[in-house]
């Protein structure tokens, strides 16, 4: 097998569009996607000395970009104190209710300003996650809390993407029910 060589002078022409399309598919914001591609190129330059030539340049840059996307979500989630759990106050339609992160990010929200209530809600969420079937809980935590890619989760747990999304949907539904029963109704 031939070792691949890096050619940073050609990265923008050769890979910018491909990397941008990859990023925009994950973040749905053109400006953020552009920033992530720039950060990827910069990180590639900084870590070029660590490139072993085992993967093609594009594959190596995509691996960097994947980490940049995950870091982007971790950073934005930690800034807002988000948790990807949907709480519903009514079970009429999917549009009823609010995302927990919208409540927590709202400076006028009662939850935002009540440290004790935030801690209690955090404990309630962890208790509800602990009640999920083991594989559901694992998939939910890997995807929504740790921000691991669908592809990596599927490889690690030997499941297909459809199974992953069914498990996440079931976990969210169970968490909604558990939180409604143990948090909102109490």
pLDDT at 134 over 80: yes
* Token reading at 88: 């519903």
pLDDT at 104 over 80: no
pTM beyond 0.85, yes or no: no
Average pLDDT over residues 43-56: 87
CATH architecture of 8-80: Orthogonal Bundle (1.10)
Average pLDDT over residues 91-112: 43
pLDDT band at 72 (very low <50, low <70, confident <90, very high): confident
pLDDT at 47 over 50: yes
Distance CA 144, CA 128 (A): 15
Share of the chain above pLDDT 70, in %: 73
Digit-coded pLDDT (tens) for 81-92: 444 444 434 344
Q: Where in the chain is the domain with CATH 1.10.10.10?
A: 86-184
Distance CA 116, CA 139 (A): 29
Instruction: Give strand pairing partners of 98.
Output: 87
The hierarchical CATH code for the domain 86-184 is 1.10.10.10
128 neighbors 178 (Cβ within 8 angstroms) = yes
Q: Where in the chain is the domain with CATH 1.10.1740?
A: 8-80
Q: Using alpha carbons, select from 47, 46, 49, 56 the residue that is nearest to residue 3.
A: 56
Average pLDDT over residues 134-156: 87
Average pLDDT over residues 51-56: 84
pLDDT band at 98 (very low <50, low <70, confident <90, very high): very low
pLDDT of residue 116: 52
pLDDT of residue 14: 92
């Amino acid at each position: 097998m031939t070792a691949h060589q890096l050619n940073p002078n050609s990265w923008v022409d050769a890979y910018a569009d491909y990397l941008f399309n990859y990023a925009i598919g994950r973040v749905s914001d053109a400006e953020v996607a552009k920033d992530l591609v720039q950060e990827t190129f910069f990180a590639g330059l900084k870590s070029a000395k660590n490139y072993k030539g085992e993967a093609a340049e594009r594959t190596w840059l995509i691996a960097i970009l994947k980490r940049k996307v995950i870091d982007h979500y971790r950073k934005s989630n930690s800034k807002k104190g988000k948790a990807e759990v949907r709480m519903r106050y009514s079970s009429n339609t999917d549009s009823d209710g609010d995302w927990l992160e919208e409540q927590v990010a709202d400076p006028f929200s009662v939850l935002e300003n009540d440290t004790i209530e935030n801690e209690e809600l955090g404990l309630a969420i962890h208790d509800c996650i602990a009640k999920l079937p083991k594989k559901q809980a694992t998939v939910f935590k890997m995807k929504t809390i740790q921000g691991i890619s669908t592809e990596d989760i599927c490889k690690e747990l030997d499941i297909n993407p459809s199974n992953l999304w069914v498990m996440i949907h079931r976990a969210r539904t169970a968490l909604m029910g558990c939180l409604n029963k143990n948090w909102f109704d109490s």
